[in-house]
Amino acid sequence: MSTTSRAKKPIIALVIIVIVLIAGGWYYSMSQTSAPSTTSMMETSSSAAQSGPSTLVIDDPFWPSGDLNQLNSIYAIPYPDWLTYTVYQSLVTLDGNALYSSGDVKVLPMLATDWNASSDGTTYTFNLRQGVSFSNGDPFNAYQVWGQMYGLYYLSSNSSSFLNGYGVFDFSNANFGPATLALMAQSGLVNPSPDLMKIMTDTSWPIYVTSQNQIVFHLKSPFIWFPHTLVAFVGLIFDTQYVLANGGFGTPASFNTNFNQKPIPGTGPYVVTDASENSYVKFAQNPNYWGSGLSAADIQANAYLDPGHVQNVIIYTKSDDVARYTDLSTGAAQISGIESQDWPQVLKNPDKYGYFVMPDSSMAFVGISMNTHRYPTNITDFRQAVVHAVNLTDISQRVFFGGLAPMIGPEYPAQKDWYDLGNLPQYSNDLTVAKQYLAQSGVDVTKLQPLEFRVVSGCTYCYSTAQIVQADLAQIGITLNIEVTPGNQWALPYVAGAGTYQQGLNASQQVAQFTWFGTGTFAPGAPTPADAWILFANKNTPANNYAIYSNPTVQACVDAWTSTNDVNTIKSLCTAAQKQMYDDAPYIWLGAIKLVFGGGSVAWDKNVVKSALLDPVFTGISSTVIFNTVTFVGS
Amino acid sequence: MNLAWYILRRVIFGAFVVLSVMTITFALSHSLGGDPVYAWLGKAAGMHPDLAQAYIQKYHLHDPVYVQYYYYLANLAQGNMGYSPSRNFIPVTEAIAQTLPYTIQIALFAIVITLVVGVLLGVVSARYHHTPIDAAIRAFYLTGYASPPFFVALLLLMLFTYVLGILPSGAAFDPTLSKPYWITGIPIIDGVLEGNFSYSASAFTHLILPSAALALVTFGIVTRVLRSSLLEIMHTNYIRTARAKGLDENTVFYKHGLRHALIPIVSLSSLIVTWLITGTIFVENVFSYPGMGRYLVQALNGEDYPGILGAAIVFALVIVTANLIADILYAVVDPQVRLG
């Protein structure tokens, strides 16, 4: 038999296989009836807002830890919470347009129409929007809000700081537990029974109702920024009646998991229609959305109320950056989170891609803490040497693509009335000054053991920054060992910020001299000017005091936020505190981030997407856009 | 010894292997240090100390490791593999039920590709041994064999999705299509059973790249073994006899030679299953495919002990079962194996 005829059979077999594969692909492409495409979005984008493109596809690097179960809000998860303002709304919100144009923090009504505070600043009364229902038709009212607040309080193991870490309530008179929950379930929250009403209207409890449409929050001490604590997380309102009818809240260590992928209904412009764990979530516009009739002027004034400009949304979780960039470039996704690995590709194509850039005044930042109780970072002059040796501009350019705005902590730059009280300048990057401070500290670097710098595993820009800091400090003779720490060890006794100040103090000799702030970028749990002081400089903090830092002058400022409503007093105390912290330098404030992921951001196809907003605490809640605010080219 | 006794011994040995895997995995995962309650609750562990304490008590997190292992075994005996913190505390069995069908789907398809491509190229390579075709095939399978699965996955993603744009970048199916009812949990099969062929086609299209990435790394061993086996067999006496009888070369090669050369592939099958299963951990993460490999990575990142153990047990069971089936098949084919 000739070689030619011998070769025929395997070649024929290969050809048949190729034909089958191509046929399969053709059949699939023909079976696609509603796959999103750039072309279809362009064709429909000129229609009226409510009848815009049929499907918006977003790729996100993360799946919500805590799934879609809003009962997790007491843990400050789900993160990312794609349901913020899309499915759930809060009593109050922030002006998103002002927030992301100039960093102005302005509180606006959402499910509450208005509110007032008593003269002593301890009692807040909210009047609720009437005629609002959840997406399943259950009515939204004060009883629902009451039920939710106490239900979450119960799930937190009756923690007085259940409200996003703010211990503003005194629950000593409130006896809420399984018996009350059982009464709620029996009575319902649409027309509560007299027994339940008696409890709900009890004014000795910190949260009580006065009518179907009015709810009161009584604080143990004045806190001017209390409404800001309701903007997200625990403040996102869900249908408590639905929770009670579907298994209840559960117990503190075993809450109801029924809502993991079938979330509790909300009042927002979208509903979840389908979810697949660690894969995707599908949304559709809520036909019962109370804000469907809002005018363009209303939406311009309060962007988070937008009913949305696309009928369907799919958010995919794709952990691989190449896959997300590929989807964006091929049009399979119109918005995609791109991290540092592929960020240069986005930057190289400015005509094709738009991306999110934070204003200089934002609340998300990156920083490094110095252990103020372990040698040698327990010496103030040593810390001053460090902050003058670190080259922040270099870090911004080389690690964050130029995306770090200067920051004088602890206050977030967006809190403009409270930021950098005293107008202190950023620490100069000056090796001569650094060496002078080092000499003053009395530390002999030639005899110094390498210092520990702890960063969390998986954060590439953290390692990159740590290497630059290591090189900077080497110039003044300080040697750093970078310790990449797995997430399961990002806790005490290795990381002070994971526990209370006292726990950090007890473990101070094990905590590294330098620790990356958090597990990546840091954003507040609530957009209040008190947040940064309460977390980073407070001896009574529940968490986040990474430097184990406390000072009486600073503590006076910390305590003032929740003890007086006299703004001038707070400002005076905090101006002194700001100067004290500047001199003590417990933290290296690397800067406020301008890109959502530090080394990357949320990018979109500029031919399709015109604009979008992020969440009200600068990606402290969601890692992608609040998609009801997405507007499209041509619409 | 008879076949039944041989099988019983293998089953007992397999059970011992699974138990060992479970014990070692338990010990290793609990030796990582740190406090899992912080991994599970995040900063809420500090903010709400009573809540943290409730979790510590419920899950015995601060008990000695051997005490925790005792509780785990006691629950396992009742069919309870615990609750998965990385999946928001749903039962581990439920998490496995959600993810295992996807991994089975990938693995089955990858096995088919591995065997088809491996056998085809093995035959061609043996047929044209010591020719440029043989050299090209060897270069091809060595490249695949030497490449890590995630690297192959990324290359395929870039070629077929980014450059050619003909296959999707990830996920398991197009969510805009209506899903069939859960029958087997395997998307392609459930779609076919319900007559939802669009869905099945979509699931198939999303399956191609992950399965191909796995297969490209494993087919090489099939090709290599088959080539060697064929070349050896073609020089045996019975092949010479067949030729002497006047049979054409194709009949000698395929009917007499190939049939016997395939026997070693049977014993390789358990290894193939092992490689494919371990490869899913990488490939599923590149393609965001919601299978057990992705679940295992999620569990590892979240210090989800029950999830890690559950996934390890399932993987061990699959590998042990594959080896068991291979051993049984081999014993059926060759009785001398049983006597060993």
**Could you write out the DSSP letters of every residue in A118-180?**
-TTS-EEEEEEPTT-B-TTSPBP-HHHHHHHHHHHHHHTTS-TTTBTTB-----TT---SHHH
A157 Ramachandran zone, left/alpha/beta (phi>0; psi -120 to 50): left
Please give the residue that has the higher pLDDT: either A518 or B223.
B223
How much is the pLDDT for A474? 97
Question: With contacts defined as CB-CB under 8 Å, which chain B residues touch A320?
Answer: 154, 157, 170, 285-288
Give dist(CA A83, CA A66) in Å, integer.
12
Q: Report the 10 Å Cβ neighbour count for A190.
A: 12
Largest alpha-carbon pair distance within chain B? 87
- Residue among A56, A72, A396 nearest A234 (CA): A72
A490 interface with B at CB cutoff 8 Å: yes
3-state helix, strand, coil in chain A (%, to 5): 35, 20, 45
Q: Which residues of chain A carry a pLDDT beneath 50? A: 1-4, 29-52
Q: DSSP 3-state assignment of A562?
A: coil
Q: Are strands A112-117 and A123-128 parallel, antiparallel or unpaired?
A: antiparallel
Residue A128 Cα, gap to closest chain B Cα (Å): 29
Q: How far apart are the first and last CA of chain B?
A: 9
CA distance B337 to chain A (A): 35
- Looking at residue A18, its pLDDT comes to 65
Query: Which of A145-159, B134-148, B234-248 is predicted most confidently?
Result: A145-159
pLDDT, greater one: A457 or B174: B174
Of the candidates B257, B176, B166, B159, the residue with the CA atom closest to the CA atom of residue B205 = B166
B225/chain A closest Cα distance in angstroms: 19
* A:112-151 residues touching chain B, CB 8 A cutoff: none
φ and ψ at A419, to 5 degrees?
-85, 135
Question: Is this complex scored with an ipTM above 0.95?
Answer: no
Interface contact flag, A6 B127, Cβ < 8 Å: yes
Concatenate the DSSP letters of all residues of A427-458 into one string.
PP--HHHHHHHHHHHT--GGGPPPEEEEEETT
Number of neighbours of residue A28 by Cβ within 10 angstroms:
22
Q: Over 80: is that where the pLDDT of B257 sits?
A: no
Q: Which of A246, A244, A232, A180 is nearest to A207 (CA)?
A: A180
Does the beta-carbon distance from A282 to B175 stay under 8 Å? Answer: yes
User: If you measure CA to CA, which chain A residue comes closest to B44?
Assistant: A75
pLDDT of residue A10: 59
Q: Which pLDDT score, from 0 to 100, does residue B273 have?
A: 86
Q: What is the pLDDT of residue A33?
A: 37
- CB contact at 8 A, B158 and A326: yes
> What confidence score (pLDDT) does residue A25 get?
53
pLDDT value of position B62: 85
CB contact (8 A) between residue A257 and residue B170: no
Chain B residues with CB under 8 Å of A21 CB are 208
Show residues of chain A in contact with B51, CB under 8 Å.
Answer: 74, 155-157, 159, 252-253
Subunit contact B45:A491, Cβ cutoff 8 A = yes
Contact assignment for A28 to B205 by CB distance below 8 Å: yes
